[in-house]
A and B are shown apart, each in its own frame.
Chain A
Amino acid sequence: DQQVKQNSPSLSVQEGRISILNCDYTNSMFDYFLWYKKYPAEGPTFLISISSIKDKNEDGRFTVFLNKSAKHLSLHIVPSQPGDSAVYFCAARDNSGGSNYKLTFGKGTLLTVNP
């Protein structure tokens, strides 16, 4: 049951360039989306989120875009830095009732930013 899909297990980018991480979802009741970053031996760290009433949210070098009709979101990192190298998880929440508390995660994309 893959309600949140990250189809690229890995992505390699040159320092200073843009990193684009993609996420697709199938549950039309998802109304809140989050990106988490995870370094080895650490827990996921919140990065940025977006509500379904918006199509873009920006925070410094990080921008998340949401295309509800395509059930697709993406995370843009500009410019990419070597310290951004980590696994990035897309997560979503369904607030429609009966499932208000849990986040559904994708499998993650390993981003490597090369100096």
Chain B
Amino acid sequence: EPEVTQTPSHQVTQMGQEVILRCVPISNHLYFYWYRQILGQKVEFLVSFYNNEISEKSEIFDDQFSVERPDGSNFTLKIRSTKLEDSAMYFCASSAGFNEKLFFGSGTQLSVL
């Protein structure tokens, strides 16, 4: 079964550093998402992306965050200057259509020290 792949599985960074989390969505999917889960809390929506632009974003997704689809296969989340509170598991997801179910990757555990 096709799957969403995320790299790296773990990322440790110093506060203030930039990080890029990478995702390869399922190849024929058109909608792409980033979610995150802070330890012990619920999975939270960050951003959705369709047709090469952000379609929706949450209050969490401020100016420090950006997303990009640099080529036909990758989908990246960049955090420009990481903060301690950005430490979380970040999940990439994709879907074939607007109202289709989301397929999630295994996540990248980001630790900001």
Contacts and interface: CB of A to CB of B under 8 A. Distances in A.
B41 interface: yes
Chain A interface size, as a band, is 20 to 34
A102 B48 contact: yes
A85 interface: no
Interface stretch (B14-22, B77-85, B94-102): B94-102
A105 interface: yes
Q: Considering residues A4, A102, A107, which has the most beta carbons from chain B within 10 angstroms of its beta carbon?
A: A102
Contacts of A103: 35, 45, 102
B55 interface: yes
Contacts of A49: 101
A32 B4 contact: no
Interface in A11-42: 32, 34, 36, 41-42
A106 B93 CA distance: 17
The B interface is mostly helix, strand or loop, or mixed, namely strand
Contacts, number: 56
B33 interface: yes
B31 A101 contact: yes
Interface in A56-115: 89, 91, 95, 99-108
B106 A108 contact: no
Nearest to B55: A101
A99 B56 CA distance: 7
A105 B101 contact: no
A49 B101 CA distance: 9
Contacts of B45: 102-104
Given A43-B107, A102-B56, 6 more contacts: A4-B42, A42-B106, A44-B91, A95-B99, A101-B31, A104-B45
Interface of A: 4, 32, 34, 36, 41-46, 49, 89, 91, 95, 99-108
